[in-house]
Amino acid sequence: METKVCNICGQEKPVEDFSKAYKHICKECRNGIAREARKETQRIETPLSEMYEESVKEQRRWQILLAVAPAVIDPKHVVNETRVAFDACDIADAIFEEWSKREAKRKASGASK
């Protein structure tokens, strides 16, 4: 029986225990390396997907703000531009909160089906 030594674990094993693609690494070590790489990828992907979701929410919030602002701002009666901007933001935030609640309900009802 022909044997080889793994470059990772240093054990002498039968040739059948070695990958054809990684000739100097046994299958057990190669599987361990792949498992660790998947774990690392999962750790990286979770925050990115959360950041993407937050980015989408922020874009939606700004779309609402841009739609609400002209209705709130009457150029003839603007005395305090800063106050008007804050009011428009408050209205947009309230609409966004309601939209977020409805989205959550929609997702929950879709997941339960």
Query: Could you tell me how many residues make up the chain?
Result: 113
Quote the domain boundaries for residue 65.
3-112
pLDDT digits (tens, 9 = 90+) for 53-69: 778 878 887 787 777 76
Q: What does the alpha-carbon distance between residue 87 and residue 100 come to, in Å, rounded to a whole number?
A: 20
**pLDDT interval class at 74 (50, 70, 90):** low
* Residue at token pair 């703000």: 65
- 2-35 pLDDT, tens per residue? 999 999 999 999 999 998 888 899 999 999 999 9
Residues with Cβ < 8 Å from 26, sequence gap 6 or more? 6, 8, 9, 11, 13, 17, 18, 19
**Main-chain phi, psi angles of 26, to 5 degrees:** -70, 160
Prediction pTM value: 0.39
Number of independent structural domains in the chain: 1
Contact of 8 with 26, CB cutoff 8 Å? yes
